[in-house]
Structure 1
Amino acid sequence: MGILQADERYLWIINESDNEYNIQPMWTEVCNALKAMPSGVYEDPLYPDAPFRTIMIGKDGLESRVKAPPKSAVLFQYKCELSDISRVVILPFPWRSLCRPHDAT
């Protein structure tokens, strides 16, 4: 599994394995790596309507789950700012803070 920043508007998710990967916002390494990208919504320009082919990146990194098909390299292109879209989140109980360390207080 690899993440390659092509430039400020494009990134690649590369999966060399034989298995599909669900890249989760709770993966600290992924969140930290994607903090380098400008905040916003990124879409797969070839299959924008495919499930889990949209990445949302905020100031703390990855905010949405994305799937990497087996033996694939998926390009994601910057589409718009996060504030330009309406978002709904469904949190299971107990929910965890995504990409944020727990307060010690």
Structure 2
Amino acid sequence: MSSSDEAGDCADVERDVVNRTLFVRLLSENSVVVEKSKVPSVMCAKKKAWDIICSEYSKATGKIVTPAQLSKMLNNMKTKIKKKTDRTATGNKKIKLKDW
């Protein structure tokens, strides 16, 4: 593996962290998408919020993404956090979570 490949990998990782940080910021601005309510008015608000998040994320990253893809990204992030906290549940060690 050459150094240019490693530099490209580092750039991809940095871009991924920036994209996830942006995604978390958009989620915090539109927190209704995290609620579990199935009330029709809340579901309508969720759909509108996902559309807003999708358009802003696509505009910022330059990648066309669907609300379903972003929902899957959110579920994957929650799963990673859950696995990490479950792994260290029996110990008394600090859990180091990522910044996103």
TM-score (norm 2): 0.23
| More RCO (CA 8 Å, sep 6+) | 1
- Largest Rg, 1 or 2: 2
TM-score (norm 1): 0.23
Higher helix share: 2
Higher strand share: 1
